[in-house]
Structure 1
Amino acid sequence: MLKPDHTDHRIRSQRTYKEALTLAMSDRVLLPDHLLTVESRLPEMPHAVRAIYNSYYWAAHSLKARAWLQAVIILNLALIGFDAFLDPSLLAPSLIIRGGIVTTILVALWILWAREQNHAVQGASLIAVSATIMIEAAALGLLGGEALFERYLTGGLFTVATAILFFPIAFSWTICAVTLATFLYVVMLAAGPVADPLIAVFTGCFYCSAMITFASTRKAALRSHWKSFKSKVRELRDQETLEQLNVELRLAADLDPLTGVRNRRAAQEEISRICEGGAQDVAFLMLDIDDFKILNDRYGHAIGDDCIRQVARSIADNLRSRDLVSRYGGEEFLVVLRAADRDCASAAAERIRKSIEQLHIGEPGNFIDRTVTVSIGVALRHGDEAPEKTIDRADEALYAAKRAGKNRTVIAPSPADGPAPSPRRSDHQRREVA
């Protein structure tokens, strides 16, 4: 029965741990970056920050408290036989005290620690452990007589000392538990049957100093855990920033810096993914700005760049979100239409061409005195045709549109209807036709 509960608790604590870290990492208003780099103490933090940290800390360490409680429950039950071995008259009291009262209290605390509790409840649980263990040791020690009293009392104090190391609670509650255990030890030692009071006092001082040392260790551990939390949040934020930069760098590497659309390399990679995925009815549109060299020479490179930017924007505005546009050359663009038949591709090409005719290149009040047009070649991919072959056919259709007078759309014949495409045009041939 304990194993399923342990598994549920582990899953719950892991979820709480991740949620607390995610909230701390993402909320830079609540926990600014500068608070993660300067020396600070948890009590100085805003209540909301402390609440997040407490959830994180409980999730990271509550398993230790439950493991300690589980071990003490098993040990306590095993000691019933040990009590009877030392003194047979202790069997009945041990069954009642260890097996009944103390085990019930420890099991209740074990169940309590299965879920996150507020600081007061967590602290009170360690106080309950201190009082229960010390009273149990004193009661059984008294019943066992002088020979067992001091040993049982010392054993109880040692057990409480280990609890201080395992219970993830605030330092103030740790001090309360240490004080209570020490106080009960001294009072019971003074009131109980002790063979040599002087040795008992020295033994008590030794174990009390050990308790103080354990408490100091707890304080140092709490400071270390707080620093570790800040370091973890800072590391996660740095990772998030680095990932964001990597995304931006990858995006910048895929985009044409002038137009903001995909560049040729990114387009080729995306086309390969589309075609390898078995996409059907893919159409390719090859577009080239007519007489761009004349425009560039007459009006200057600034106007030429503005023309290319506006043409790219106009193409993108007339496509669906699933379609692809890329700058394929200087003034040449490649469009990939998904799920597009001949009519759809032709309509898209004409829509783009007419939209570009309406562009006004230049500054308001100083537009250039000519209309910008494009020639478009359209080719539909057939079967398992290599995308490079389809692009070649679209390029040949574009070449035909240029020869036919420009500012028009030409649809390439399918491989079965027409001759094999000519070799792909060189850059020199493109400049001649443009």
Structure 2
Amino acid sequence: MRKIAHTNHRTLSQRVYNDALKTAMTDRVMLPDRLLTQRSHLHDASPALGALYDSYSWAAHSLKARAWLQAAFVFNFLLMSFDYLVSPSLLMATLVIRGFMISSILLGLHMLWGRQRACWIQGATLLAVSATIMIGTGALGALGGVSMFERYITGALFTVATAILFFPIEFRWTVIAVVAAILLHAGMLIIGPVPDPLLALSTSCFYSGVIIAFASTRKATLRSQWNSFKSKIRELRDQEALASLNAELQVFANLDPLTGIQNRRSTQEDIARIWDDPAYAKPAIAFLMLDIDNFKQLNDTFGHAAGDDCIKGVANKISLALRDGDIVSRYGGEEFLVVLTGTTASDAFAVAERIRKFVESFRLRTLGDVPASRVTISIGLALWQGDDTPEMLIKRADEALYDAKHRGKNQTVVAAPVQDINACAGQGHRQKAHYVA
């Protein structure tokens, strides 16, 4: 049962921890970037940021508080045997004080820290620990006589000092608990069974200095935790920005800078992925190699700027003519590669002809009184056959493209006999469809 409760607390605290970090990382109004680099204190934070940090602090450190309470609970039971060995007459008192009162309070506080509470409740737990340990142990020491009293209350003071280091609470509550422990220690020395009260009080001052030093350490720890929280958020935001930048760079690295479509390298990666993925049926793959007709003449006549506009315009027309999932890339200067998946011979030919017609409708506008120039492309179509590799398929598509140029340009040539291609060529494109063995 205890293991289940521990697991539930860990799961809850992890969820609260992640939610707090996510909110702090994304909400730049509540936690602006400038606050992450400036020196600041928790009390300078807005109420919303303070509440968020409280959730983070509880999630990050509550396990330590519960661990201390659990250890104190076990140690308290072990001390019952020690009490009996030192003074058998304390058996009934230790059963009541340690076995029932102190143990019940420690167990209740352990359960209380199982989920986040209001800051004042969490802070008051340390005060409750301080009062419980000091009063309970002091009462047992008094019942044990002079020889036990000072040692018991001094041990209790050191026990409270260790608790100060483990409880993730506001510093003001740490101060309250420390003051309460010191006053109880001094008060019990004054009214308790000690041979020399003045000497006992001077000793109390020494031990009080020790516990105050512990409290000072706790203050430094709280400041360090606040700065660590800011550093973690800054690191997460930097990582997010870097990941976003890397994603943008990856996109740019995969695109042709002139046309905005994929470049040759990224398309080769996509082809390799398709070829290795059994979800893509090889017989349903086709490659189109496309080249702008008379591009050198156009470039020489109208200039390189017009040539760039022509390439961009053709790339746009090709993209508009494709289906969802088809891949188009700029393969060379004025050459393009289209990869079709999930296609048939007739569908592939229809896509090629649609591209050719879209480009044929494109008009390149030039400066001056020169009429807009008509642009056409030639296309080589290769469908997967046998044991074709991507390189073999590209080569066959390229050979078909060369044949299309040789036959008069502005047409689609199929690289190898494919079933039903004659029917496709006969549906209004017979004069444009040719075959290369």
Alignment of 1:322-337 (within 5 A): 322-337=325-340
Give, in whole Å, the separation in 1 of the partners of 2:366 and 2:135: 90
Decide which of 355, 369, 372 is 1:352's aligned counterpart.
355
One-letter amino acid of the counterpart of residue 78, structure 1? L
Is 2:153–2:185's contact at 8 Å kept on the other side of the alignment? yes
Corresponding residue for residue 201 of structure 2:
201
Tell me the CA shift for residue 222 of structure 1. Answer: 0.8
Tell me the CA shift for residue 144 of structure 1. Answer: 1.6
Corresponding residue for residue 154 of structure 1:
154
Decide which of 394, 399, 420 is 2:397's aligned counterpart.
394
One-letter amino acid of the counterpart of residue 239, structure 1? Q
- What do the CA deviations read for 1:288-315 (whole angstroms, capped 9, x no partner)? 1111112212222111111111211222
Q: Which runs of 5+ in 2 are unaligned?
A: 421-437
Decide which of 400, 407, 411 is 1:408's aligned counterpart.
411
Tell me the CA shift for residue 122 of structure 1. Answer: 0.9
Is 2:345–2:419's contact at 8 Å kept on the other side of the alignment? no
Alignment of 1:182-331 (within 5 A): 182-278=182-278, 279-280=280-281, 281-331=284-334
Corresponding residue for residue 91 of structure 1:
91
Moved more, 164-173 or 180-189: 180-189
One-letter amino acid of the counterpart of residue 389, structure 2? A
Q: Which runs of 5+ in 1 are unaligned?
A: 418-434
Q: CA RMSD in A?
A: 2.1
One-letter amino acid of the counterpart of residue 190, structure 2? A
- What do the CA deviations read for 1:13-67 (whole angstroms, capped 9, x no partner)? 2333232222222222321211111111111111222222222222221111111
Give, in whole Å, the separation in 1 of the partners of 2:371 and 2:52: 61
Corresponding residue for residue 43 of structure 2:
43
Judging changes above 3 Å, is the alpha-carbon distance between structure 1 residues 181 and 321 closer, same or farther for their aligned structure 2 residues?
farther
Give, in whole Å, the separation in 2 of the partners of 1:365 and 1:97: 104
Tell me the CA shift for residue 364 of structure 1. Answer: 11
Give, in whole Å, the separation in 2 of the partners of 1:191 and 1:69: 29
One-letter amino acid of the counterpart of residue 119, structure 2? H
Moved more, 378-387 or 301-310: 378-387
One-letter amino acid of the counterpart of residue 144, structure 2? G
Judging changes above 3 Å, is the alpha-carbon distance between structure 1 residues 15 and 383 closer, same or farther for their aligned structure 2 residues?
farther
Give, in whole Å, the separation in 2 of the partners of 1:114 and 1:396: 73
One-letter amino acid of the counterpart of residue 72, structure 2? V
Corresponding residue for residue 145 of structure 1:
145
Runs of 4+ that moved beyond 4 A: 363-368, 414-417
Corresponding residue for residue 378 of structure 1:
381
Is 2:134–2:184's contact at 8 Å kept on the other side of the alignment? yes
- What do the CA deviations read for 1:45-102 (whole angstroms, capped 9, x no partner)? 1122222222222222111111110110000011111111111121112111111121
- What do the CA deviations read for 1:344-398 (whole angstroms, capped 9, x no partner)? 2112112222222222333799885222111111111124410111111111221
Judging changes above 3 Å, is the alpha-carbon distance between structure 1 residues 199 and 46 closer, same or farther for their aligned structure 2 residues?
same
Judging changes above 3 Å, is the alpha-carbon distance between structure 1 residues 51 and 310 closer, same or farther for their aligned structure 2 residues?
farther
Q: SS where residue 262 of structure 2 aligns?
A: coil
How many percent of aligned residue pairs carry the same amino acid? 58
Give, in whole Å, the separation in 1 of the partners of 2:104 and 2:405: 92
Give, in whole Å, the separation in 2 of the partners of 1:396 and 1:283: 14
Corresponding residue for residue 17 of structure 1:
17
Give, in whole Å, the separation in 2 of the partners of 1:308 and 1:391: 21
Is 1:380–1:414's contact at 8 Å kept on the other side of the alignment? no
TM-score, normalization: structure 2?
0.90
Give, in whole Å, the separation in 2 of the partners of 1:236 and 1:55: 18
One-letter amino acid of the counterpart of residue 128, structure 1? A
- What do the CA deviations read for 1:291-340 (whole angstroms, capped 9, x no partner)? 11122122221111111112112222222332211100101100111111
One-letter amino acid of the counterpart of residue 343, structure 1? S
Q: SS where residue 336 of structure 1 aligns?
A: strand
User: Matched residue pairs, number?
Assistant: 418
Tell me the CA shift for residue 2 of structure 1. Answer: 2.8
Alignment of 1:106-185 (within 5 A): 106-185=106-185
Give, in whole Å, the separation in 2 of the partners of 1:244 and 1:12: 30
One-letter amino acid of the counterpart of residue 298, structure 1? T
Give, in whole Å, the separation in 2 of the partners of 1:59 and 1:367: 74
Corresponding residue for residue 429 of structure 1:
none
- What do the CA deviations read for 1:394-425 (whole angstroms, capped 9, x no partner)? 112212222222222222215999xxxxxxxx
Give, in whole Å, the separation in 1 of the partners of 2:369 and 2:259: 22
Alignment of 1:415-434 (within 5 A): none
Q: SS where residue 376 of structure 1 aligns?
A: strand
Judging changes above 3 Å, is the alpha-carbon distance between structure 1 residues 362 and 102 closer, same or farther for their aligned structure 2 residues?
farther
Judging changes above 3 Å, is the alpha-carbon distance between structure 1 residues 351 and 29 closer, same or farther for their aligned structure 2 residues?
farther
Judging changes above 3 Å, is the alpha-carbon distance between structure 1 residues 94 and 34 closer, same or farther for their aligned structure 2 residues?
same
Give, in whole Å, the separation in 1 of the partners of 2:64 and 2:113: 10
One-letter amino acid of the counterpart of residue 349, structure 2? S
Judging changes above 3 Å, is the alpha-carbon distance between structure 1 residues 23 and 93 closer, same or farther for their aligned structure 2 residues?
same
Tell me the CA shift for residue 227 of structure 1. Answer: 1.1
Is 1:360–1:368's contact at 8 Å kept on the other side of the alignment? no
One-letter amino acid of the counterpart of residue 47, structure 2? H
Q: SS where residue 221 of structure 2 aligns?
A: helix
